[in-house]
């Protein structure tokens, strides 16, 4: 990459993150957090914030700390750190705070949604702790944040893996982060549209704004939104009982990507605990990580040559064969046998599947469900590329892996230079009139550029 492009990318990334930062003064305290994009996502999102902090720690460590501090501030009594922490100054996102019925769980005046997102937070906390140059600040940061993150992990282990299988259950596609992925289609279709109350459908019709704020052909379809809101309404009726949500939700998925991040977060946090001489806690997290590693490896499907999610809704146990980006999650967590790695590498570099002009598409090109523009059904995303780049880079003596890493890294950064800071991009590298796909001026695209430049260039 040209040095001038790198310099420009860094400058623009910082500007986008600054523009998307909110500052709120409350009871004499100042709170700061970053929203994903002012064009639509005007609150704070869990795994987006983790990437924001990882990108910012090198250039604005105080903002990186504030970002994580603000996210964990809304942690529930039971340990949940939610998918969305609502922004009291903004009203324009659907479903907004008034639709979740979570007021009873508010801590420190922060209203949140009632579900979670992939647990990248632990990875971010460890990374920020490691990279903070001011070690006094690092110790204060870890003393403040670590108890919350460990409590969140206790929540996830207790409620999302009640059978102690090592694989974590998500109860809503929004919890996967890859919301509209075709790997959820069959499970969602089992929720019959005529079983969804008319009031829910009317609410979605009247209040959904993403498809008008953005391009309708990039967003989930109406029937997906009916089901998304149906699940929210059910959980609200159950007063967000975490046990019931897993046992009785019509959508429950043992998710490979979520579990891979859980594994990586546990290992990274175990390392932090180890360095703090908290050996017993480190051992516990390391053993959770090992258990998940083995469980992920065991989901390998020899025919599809990939890891598989498991639909566990209402007592089911159905392995999901859809070829999506989730199967590369285990690269990031080093959860593979060498034989599986070789097959994954082959899949990842296959131009008919996952290696078009701008890899890595969120769904295999050969899948009948592939869609160039609709979110998580085909487009390439910087966040999943970051996992793959980091994952390949863990294979220190494997020249082929490192070469592929450099290629994906370069293509990711170059695409942002050519098309701007979008939410996602066409895997064929074509540019729309105004740039990439989804919403623009996107924070995690900016933060991931900063992170990748800092780590690899």
Residues that bind ligand 2M8 in the complex, under the rule CB under 6 A: 36, 41, 45, 47-48, 83, 174, 177, 179
191 versus 289: smaller Cβ distance to ligand 2M8: 191
* Angle between helix 338-348 and 399-419 (nearest 10): 30
The alpha carbon torsion through 152, 62, 85, 382 (nearest 10 deg) reads -90
Rounded to a whole number of angstroms, the minimum distance from the CB of residue 211 to ligand 2M8 is: 11
The DSSP annotation for 384-411 comes to HHHHHHHHHHT-TT-HHHHHHHHHHHHH
Q: Checking phi first, is residue 177 left (phi over 0); if not, alpha (psi -120 to 50) or beta?
A: left
- Supply 337's token pair: 């046998």
The beta strands (E) that lie in 275-345 are given as 310-311, 318-319
Smallest gap, in angstroms, from Cβ of residue 282 to ligand 2M8?
29
Give min distance, CB of 380 to ligand 2M8, in A: 13
Nearer to ligand 2M8, 174 or 370 (CB): 174
CB atoms within 10 A of CB 109: 10
Nearer Cβ to ligand 2M8, position 45 or 422? 45
Provide the minimum distance between the beta carbon of 75 and ligand 2M8 in the complex, in angstroms, as a whole number: 18
Q: Rounded to the nearest whole angstrom, what is the least distance from the CB of residue 177 to ligand 2M8 in the complex?
A: 4
User: Closest distance between ligand 2M8 and the C-beta of residue 173, in Å?
Assistant: 9
In terms of CB distance, is 45 or 86 closer to ligand 2M8?
45
Q: Which is nearer to ligand 2M8, 37 or 415 (CB)?
A: 37
Residue with smaller CB distance to ligand 2M8, 295 or 437: 437
Which residues lie below 8 Å from residue 381, measured CB to CB, with a gap of 6+?
325, 362, 423, 424, 425
Q: How does strand 253-254 pair with strand 310-311?
A: antiparallel
Output 51 or 169, the one with its CB closest to ligand 2M8.
51
**Is omega for the bond preceding 382 within 30 degrees of 0, making it cis?**
no
**Three-state DSSP class for 331?**
helix
Work out how close the CB of 47 gets to ligand 2M8 at its nearest, in angstroms, rounded to a whole number. 6
Neighbours of 96 (CB within 10 A): 19
Q: Which two tokens stand for residue 40?
A: 């639509």
Q: How far is the CB of 430 from ligand 2M8 (least distance, A)?
A: 21
Structure tokens at 161: 């893996």
Nearest of 319, 88, 294, 306 to residue 186 by alpha carbon: 319
Q: Which CB, 257 or 289, lies closer to ligand 2M8? A: 257
């Amino acid at each position: 990459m040209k040095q001038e492009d790198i310099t420009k990318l860094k400058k623009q990334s910082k500007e986008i993150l600054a523009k998307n930062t909110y500052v709120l003064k409350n009871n004499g305290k100042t709170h700061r957090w970053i929203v994903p994009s002012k064009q639509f996502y005007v609150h704070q999102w869990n795994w987006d914030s983790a990437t924001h902090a990882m990108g910012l720690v090198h250039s604005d460590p105080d903002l990186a700390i504030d970002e994580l501090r603000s996210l964990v501030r809304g942690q529930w009594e039971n340990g949940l750190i939610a998918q969305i922490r609502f922004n009291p100054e903004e009203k324009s996102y659907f479903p907004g705070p008034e639709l979740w019925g979570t007021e009873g769980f508010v801590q420190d005046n922060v209203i949140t949604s009632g579900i979670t997102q992939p647990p990248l937070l632990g990875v971010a906390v460890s990374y920020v702790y490691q990279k903070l140059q001011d070690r006094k600040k690092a110790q204060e940061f870890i003393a403040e944040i670590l108890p919350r993150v460990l409590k969140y992990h206790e929540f996830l282990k207790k409620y999302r893996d009640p059978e102690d299988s090592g694989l974590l259950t998500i109860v809503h596609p929004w919890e996967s982060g890859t919301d509209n992925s075709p790997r959820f289609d069959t499970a969602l279709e089992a929720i019959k549209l005529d079983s969804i109350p008319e009031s829910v459908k009317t609410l979605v019709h009247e209040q959904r704004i993403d498809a008008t704020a953005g391009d309708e052909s990039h967003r989930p379809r109406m029937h997906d939104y009916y089901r998304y809101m149906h699940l929210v309404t059910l959980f609200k009726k159950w007063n967000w009982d975490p046990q019931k949500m897993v046992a009785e939700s019509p959508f429950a998925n043992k998710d490979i990507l979520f579990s891979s991040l859980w594994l990586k977060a546990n290992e990274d946090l175990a390392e932090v605990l180890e360095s703090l001489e908290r050996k017993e806690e480190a051992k516990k997290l390391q053993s959770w990580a090992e258990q998940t590693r083995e469980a992920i490896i065991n989901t390998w499907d020899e025919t599809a040559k990939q890891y598989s999610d498991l639909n566990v809704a209402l007592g089911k146990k159905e392995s999901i064969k859809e070829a999506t980006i989730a199967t590369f999650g285990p690269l990031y967590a080093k959860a593979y046998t060498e034989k599986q790695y070789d097959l994954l590498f082959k899949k990842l570099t296959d131009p008919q599947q996952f290696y078009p002009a701008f890899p890595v598409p969120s769904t295999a090109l050969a899948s009948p469900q592939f869609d160039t523009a609709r979110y998580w059904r085909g487009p390439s995303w910087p966040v999943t590329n970051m996992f793959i780049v980091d994952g390949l880079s863990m294979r220190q003596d494997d020249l082929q892996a490192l070469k592929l890493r450099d290629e994906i890294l370069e293509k990711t950064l170059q695409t942002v230079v050519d098309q701007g800071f979008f939410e996602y991009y066409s895997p064929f590298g074509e540019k729309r009139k105004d740039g990439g796909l989804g919403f623009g001026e996107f924070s995690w695209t900016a933060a991931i550029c900063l992170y990748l430049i800092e780590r690899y260039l």
